[in-house]
Amino acid sequence: MPWIRHRRVLVITVVAAAVAVALSGCSGVRQVVSTIGHALEGSSLTPAVGECWQSTYAIAEQAATWSHGLPVQCTSSHESYTYDVPPIDHEFSGSWQEPGTDGQMRTDIADAAWETCWNRIGDIFPTLDDKQHLLYVGYYLPSLAAWDKGARWVRCDISLIQIGSTLAAPRLARLPASIRTLIAVDEKTPEKLELCIDTKDPSATAGPLDAPGATYADCTGEPQWRQGNYDFLPGDSTATYPDDATIQAFIDTTCGTDPEGWFAYNPSQDTWDGGDREVDCWVVQGGAAHA
């Protein structure tokens, strides 16, 4: 869902030197799921831009439709904000539910919903780049009943990962009363939204996404790990998984040479077969972990 991408298998290399939404503020806010709560479950009513919702990371990551309460006032505590409710960019027939599952979204529909919301995030955060961030995009479909009646919207929500929470159990941060505040952060101090990580491994030999107890860190401080460059290995959906030498050469070109060292994540055979082509480079700061 998000574009904090908790994925991938380990790395190949370690060089050891070692969210406009309704800018008005918040009439409501939608949650990280799909419909507008129990009251509207099963209806064809469309959620509204600018609604605010109380949510958790688990809800945001797992829910396909919303069934976790009504929107709240944006001046009260909330963790999710609805920035758009566009029609899904593709046409689909049949249920959105994967056959044989209990509420799991079909892959083709999930991909289209994500693409639809991602394509609109730049309307709210125009200066946001395409790197990983603490911002979390959630997308939610109409209920199964509403979908069967022809509803084809997708609710696009923005949340923020809480600094200090762990990668193993992320928490969502409380959002400001006005989404303009978050937009201003992106425009004036974008590093506050960038993805940095601290671990308890002073040797920095384990990658930031693999170290036990790794936590989200403040990039404006002195984080141990900071995301560096990234790029995509060439190859369409029919391409054969590249050999180690090819991947290593691509990593060397993408990550380059840094005096403090870097750690690269690349697709595994399994993620490659699922369409993953991304190589992420992480730069270790000073070569020492923060306790």
Domains of the chain, residue spans: 11-18+192-284, 38-188
The number of helix segments (H) and strand segments (E) in the chain equals 6, 10
Q: What is the pLDDT of residues 21-55, one digit of tens each?
A: 334 333 332 333 333 333 334 334 678 999 999 99
pLDDT, residue 29, reads 29
Q: What is the pLDDT of residues 106-121, one digit of tens each?
A: 989 998 999 999 888 8
CB 72 within 8 A of CB 29: yes
Phi, psi (rounded to 5 degrees) for 226:
-135, 135
Cα–Cα separations (whole angstroms), residue 259 to 45, 249, 284, 286? 56, 19, 9, 9
pLDDT, residue 133, reads 85
Amino acid at 264: A
pLDDT, residue 45, reads 62
Low-confidence ranges of the chain (pLDDT < 70): 1-45, 130, 257-260, 286-291
pLDDT, residue 244, reads 93
pLDDT, residue 260, reads 62
